[in-house]
Every structure is written in C-alpha cells, then in structure tokens.
Amino acid sequence: MAWVNEELSRRFGEIATLLKISGADRFRVRAYERAADAILAAPVDLGEIERAALSDVKGIGESTAKKIVEYLDTGTIGMLEELRGEVPAGVVELTRIPGLGPKTAVLVHSQLGVDSIAGLQEAMDDGRVAQLKGLGAKTVENLRESLRRMGAKDTDRVPAADAIALAEEICARLRIRDDIQQVTYAGSLRRMRETIGDIDVLVASDADPVPIHEAFRALDLVESVIAAGEKKSSVITVRGIQADLRVVEPVAWGAALQYFTGSKAHNVRVRERAVRRGLLLNEYGIFHRDEEGQAGERIASETEADVYAAVDLAYVPPAMREDTGEVDRAADGTLPRVVEIADLVGDLHGHSDWSGDGKATLADMVAAAAAKGYAYWAVTDHALPLLPMNGISAAQLRERREAIRALQDDHEMAILDASELNIGFDGEVDYDLDVLLELDWTVASVHTGLEKGEAVQTARILHAIENPGVNAIGHLTGRKIGKRPGYEVDLAAILEACRETGTALEVNASPRRLDLSGEMVRRAVEAGVTLTISCDAHSVGDLDSMRYGVWTAQRGWATPADVLNTRGVDDLRAFVAAKRERLL
C-alpha cells in the first residue's frame, strides 16, 4: 500500500481552506491546518500504524483520528464532501488571487453571485465590485494587477535555484551603503526550501531607515512597488519574483533574523512558549510583559541563539525550522546535531570531460576538488552502453584509470576511480561485474524511461540495489525542480533494500535536483539508511553546490553519522567491501 500521508494532508488542508471561507472559528481552522502539517510531517505511514496510536501524534486529536480512520476505510471524508457541496469551487479559486482573501471572496459571491475568476473580471469591468462596501477603485486596480501577474506564470513559487543569485545580488547592492551594518537574505531561501514564494532581505542599521527603503525600491532590479512603509517595503523584481525588505536596529538583529527566517509555523510554536512564560516575542526581541500585557523590559534580541535561549530552547538550524517536531526536541535537549558542511571530507559524484556532458578536464576538476580540502573525490563519468550520448566504455574506463594514476602523484587527495552507472529498464547496469569490482566506487542512477510508473521504477531500482557492484543510488526520483516532477517510487521498499544490502542513497546537491528531498531524507534517516551528499558536478563551479545538499540533508535531520562522506577514505572503502562480502 502506498504511503498515505500526503493525500491525507491535502484533504485536511482542503477542509481548513473550506472552513475558513465558510466563516468557521479561526482556531478550529488552525487546528485543521496543524493537523494537515502534522500528518505530512509524520515519519510513519498513518495507513500502517495502529489506529489507536493515531491521536498520539501531536496535532491529531480524537476528531481528526476518526476522520483518518474514515478515509482509510472508505476513501472519503464525509465532512470534506459536505463542505465541497457548500462552497463553490470557483470561490476557492478566487482566494488564490494575491490580495483577495476569504472575506472578499465570500463578499463578491454573496453580493454579486461571482463564483469564478472570469466572473470577477466581468464584475470589475462593469463597476459592480468597486461599489461594494469596503472595496473601491484602488482595490479593483490591485486585483487586476494580481490577475495579470498570475496569468503571466503558471506557478506562484519559483525554484530556489532561480532566486539565490538574485537574492545575493540585492544583498550586495545594499551592502555597499555605509549606513548599513548587516544585510542578509532570510525566509524560505535561508531555510533552503526547494521552491520559494519571495525573497526576504533583512538589514540592520542604526541610521534613518527611510533612505534605505527608498534605495531598495529604486534598484534597477525592481519592476514595481507593492508596499512602501517606513519599516517594510515589498517589490516585484524584473524576474517576477517578489522581494521584501525589513530594516531593524542592530540590537534587534537576532530577533529580526529569527522572525524573518520563519517558518511561520515554527515561529508560532516559539511564540507560544514565550506566552506561556509570560513573555512577548516579536521581531524586535523577547520582552517581559507589563500588567496590561504590553512589551516591557527587553530580555534578548541580539543573536538568534539568545532568543532561543530566552525561551529555554537550544539553537535550531534554519533548515530545521518547519514545525515538524524540532521545537519539542530543542526544548528537551534532544535536537540532533545535524550534518554541517565542515563535516564533509569528500564528494562521491562528479564528472570530467571524459563524460560527454562534463565541462572541465579531469585535471581541472581534481584540482578544484582538492582546493576544497577534501580527502577524496570520486570521478563518476557516465557509462556505456546504456547512456550512448555521454557514457564511456569499459575500455575507455581503463584508459581513464591511467590518467587518474598519473594525476594521483600530484595530489594528496585520493582520486577515486568511479562510475555513474545507468539503471536499465530491467535494473541491469552498464558494466559486467568483474569491471565493476575493479572500481573504487559506483553510483547507479535512472536516466531513461522517466515516464514509467511506480511499479516499473521501483523494480528496476531494487534490482540495481541487489548488485554487489553498486554502492549508491543517485538522484533517486529524477526530478528537476520547476521543470519536471520525479517519477514515483515505493520509498519504503527501497529504504529496506538499501539497509539490507549496505547500499547508500545520494542526496544530490545540485539546486535543480535536491534529490532526495528533505522529506525523503528524514524517512531514510528513520530507516537507518546510509546517505551520501554529493554535487554531481559537471563543471568546476558546480563543486560549490555542496551547501545546498547539506541544507537539504539538514531539512531531513541527517546527522554526520548518517552521511558516508563524513567518514575517511578507509571507512569508505570498508563500506564498499562490506557490501561485496555480503552479496558475493
């Protein structure tokens, strides 16, 4: 049976949305939103566990547990079906327009009978919307702009890979000002979510913030201004990505950074702890409350660690701030020490121009990897015959081996004689076993037949895992963020096979891939599977991507012990040898 959590989470999220439009109590709405989050974050398949244990999951109470059981038994949730009957689908669609929330959606529906975006356009054109109480000409103009923008792109989120350079450019433009002490980007980009909705830039300045905001809004990267206040500016950049600026005093830097990094759900958790302690937490610091509950004396604000400590929490790395249990673990001192970039001593997936798609020579790639201070770097050029365009034959592989030997004399770093194998339709890989056993390391990946279904993909990958000459599975789902979704796999079965055989799973650090995803990393860690974090570099510049893989691994709570390339070259060779001994 397939993992049921995602579908369940979607349904509870839909209940929350429909309840909100129906005007339900906001705390009840939030309870359903939290249930949806809790279900998505659960590290176990809710379809598989004891039903009595469902309400043990934080955020799932008696009522939610009942609905989960109902879904498992019947495939539907009665309450959701009823709500769908009450709220027209078109009204839900209206709330997808930025600036138009549930209140306005209900207003235009009840007063004007509008139940679609097309209907809204019409009602705006003939002036009926502007006549409604609380709405006016300016609101209509803003809604038109939102709709125009929505029509121009197919999604409101962009791959983080597309936003990173722009965010760094904005920061660099501001950093040159001498009235600015600190500047960084925060938000979902700092948490390394794989797609982002906007870029959040934070500035610390002890000067007048107004000129800083003016300068930000006047950047030539800015296409239009959405909001222009004294403390906050919002703009649309030339690439269509929204960017927000907040300017705070240097003393509030830590509190503002914590606040502005999010996630929203994480911040709510932390602020709830503050409330229970009679404190107030906002973007300016953590404060005692006076008799009226207003902010009194400031307790902490200068660093994020100070803020967490003030509510008795260990520091939480940004990538873990998603309200998936990290606050409770930070409270009782059991938050895992997640892997950091400094823990990595090697990179186990990279290409030279021996591969058809490699952009740099073996010598250049090796030199660049050595400059990172690595103990080892695996050159995993593509293989033949399964990848005709880019692969190399067994004979070329042996030729390359001579080149590696020659280079090795110049480097302390071990150059691992390795290969990225292709997983064929039946799970076979390119080289014969005797050729595989001559190699130091192999990673096997799917490059063809991406359109095939879950059963086929799972079977071919499981077969590759059983091969004693395969040491890791590369980019497990084949996704390209923002371009194509990954194919489906039975992750539970693959994790089990990896653990049984001593095969690693790769966290591909290319910002276009991030494959495994953070969620899948979490499940792999739970299952006790060994991970690798590798750049899959095709150029010298790609070797800088390691941080994205590390942050993705952090999102899945991976510790140094979970990651093979935190270990020295002897341990790495032992890992390879252990699988061969087990299966041969």
Q: Is residue 135 near DNA by the rule CB under 7 A?
A: yes
Q: CA of 405: how far to CAs of 118, 306, 395, 397, in Å? A: 67, 51, 16, 12
**Residues in 13-52 that interact with DNA by CB under 7 A:** 25, 27-28, 30-32, 34-35
- Give, to the nearest 10 degrees, the angle between helix 26-41 and helix 5-21: 170
Q: Is residue 211 near DNA by the rule CB under 7 A?
A: no
| 98 vs 560 by CB, closer to DNA | 98
Q: Is residue 73 near DNA by the rule CB under 7 A?
A: no
Query: How many C-beta atoms surround the C-beta of residue 200 within 10 A?
Result: 22
Task: Select the residue interacting with DNA from 173, 239, 271, 547 (CB under 7 A).
Answer: 271
Q: Is residue 195 near DNA by the rule CB under 7 A?
A: no
Task: Select the residue interacting with DNA from 39, 42, 92, 102 (CB under 7 A).
Answer: 102
Q: What is the dihedral of CA 49, 51, 56, 61, to 10 degrees?
A: 140
- Residue 481 · residue 159 · CB < 8 Å: yes
Instruction: Name the H helices within 129-232.
Output: 137-152, 160-175, 187-190, 209-217
| 112 vs 295 by CB, closer to DNA | 295
Number of residues that make up the chain: 584
Task: Select the residue interacting with DNA from 105, 444, 525, 550 (CB under 7 A).
Answer: 105
Number of residues binding to DNA, judged by CB under 7 A: 63
**Residue 13: CB minimum distance to DNA, A:** 14
Phi-psi region of 413 (alpha: psi -120 to 50; beta: other; left: phi over 0): beta
**Residue 180: CB minimum distance to DNA, A:** 17
Q: Nearest Cα to 514, choosing from 541, 477, 487, 465? A: 477
| 203 vs 379 by CB, closer to DNA | 203
Task: Select the residue interacting with DNA from 39, 41, 100, 495 (CB under 7 A).
Answer: 100
Q: How far apart are CA 419 and CA 57, in angstroms?
A: 43
Q: Is residue 283 near DNA by the rule CB under 7 A?
A: yes
Please identify, among the stretches 159-167, 222-230, 445-453, 553-561, the one whose residues bind DNA according to the rule CB under 7 A: 222-230
Please identify, among the stretches 96-104, 120-128, 249-257, 399-407, the one whose residues bind DNA according to the rule CB under 7 A: 96-104
Instruction: Name the H helices within 176-208.
Output: 187-190
Q: How far apart are CA 463 and CA 498, in angstroms?
A: 11
Q: Is residue 242 near DNA by the rule CB under 7 A?
A: yes
Please identify, among the stretches 102-110, 167-175, 333-341, 391-399, the one whose residues bind DNA according to the rule CB under 7 A: 102-110
Q: How far apart are CA 245 and CA 205, in angstroms?
A: 12
**Residue 20: CB minimum distance to DNA, A:** 9
**Residue 417: CB minimum distance to DNA, A:** 48
| 200 vs 304 by CB, closer to DNA | 200
**Residue 553: CB minimum distance to DNA, A:** 25
Q: Is residue 137 near DNA by the rule CB under 7 A?
A: yes
DSSP characters over 459-486? HHHHHHHT-TT--EE-STT--BTTTBPP
Q: Is residue 228 near DNA by the rule CB under 7 A?
A: yes
Q: How far apart are CA 103 and CA 133, in angstroms?
A: 12
Q: Which residues contact 32 (CB under 8 A, 6 or more apart)?
A: 12, 13, 15, 16, 19, 64
Q: Is residue 198 near DNA by the rule CB under 7 A?
A: yes
Q: Is residue 457 near DNA by the rule CB under 7 A?
A: no
**Residue 206: CB minimum distance to DNA, A:** 17
| 165 vs 228 by CB, closer to DNA | 228
| 95 vs 501 by CB, closer to DNA | 95
| 185 vs 376 by CB, closer to DNA | 185
CB neighbour class for 334 (10 Å; exposed up to 12, middle 13-18, buried from 19): exposed
Q: Nearest Cα to 60, choosing from 23, 5, 21, 17? A: 5
| 118 vs 228 by CB, closer to DNA | 228
Question: How would you write 506-524 as a 3-class SS string?
Answer: EEECCCCCCECCHHHHHHH
- Residue 493 · residue 458 · CB < 8 Å: yes
Q: Is residue 230 near DNA by the rule CB under 7 A?
A: yes
Q: Is residue 103 near DNA by the rule CB under 7 A?
A: yes
Q: Is residue 8 near DNA by the rule CB under 7 A?
A: no
Q: Is residue 514 near DNA by the rule CB under 7 A?
A: no
Q: Is residue 61 near DNA by the rule CB under 7 A?
A: yes
Q: Is residue 58 near DNA by the rule CB under 7 A?
A: yes
Please identify, among the stretches 116-124, 174-182, 261-269, 457-465, the one whose residues bind DNA according to the rule CB under 7 A: 261-269
- Residue 43 · residue 523 · CB < 8 Å: yes
| 233 vs 422 by CB, closer to DNA | 233
Q: How far apart are CA 103 and CA 425, in angstroms?
A: 52
**Residue 128: CB minimum distance to DNA, A:** 13
Q: Is residue 282 near DNA by the rule CB under 7 A?
A: yes
**Residue 199: CB minimum distance to DNA, A:** 10
- Residue 118 · residue 147 · CB < 8 Å: no
Task: Select the residue interacting with DNA from 111, 116, 121, 142 (CB under 7 A).
Answer: 142
Q: Is the sign of the CA dihedral 320, 14, 197, 475 positive or negative?
A: positive
**Residue 31: CB minimum distance to DNA, A:** 3
- Residue 454 · residue 491 · CB < 8 Å: no
Q: Which residues contact 104 (CB under 8 A, 6 or more apart)?
A: 94, 135
Q: Which residues contact 141 (CB under 8 A, 6 or more apart)?
A: none
Site for DNA, rule CB under 7 A: 25, 27-28, 30-32, 34-35, 55, 58-65, 95, 97-105, 130, 133-140, 142, 187, 197-198, 200, 227-232, 242, 244, 262, 264, 267-268, 271-272, 274-276, 280-283, 295
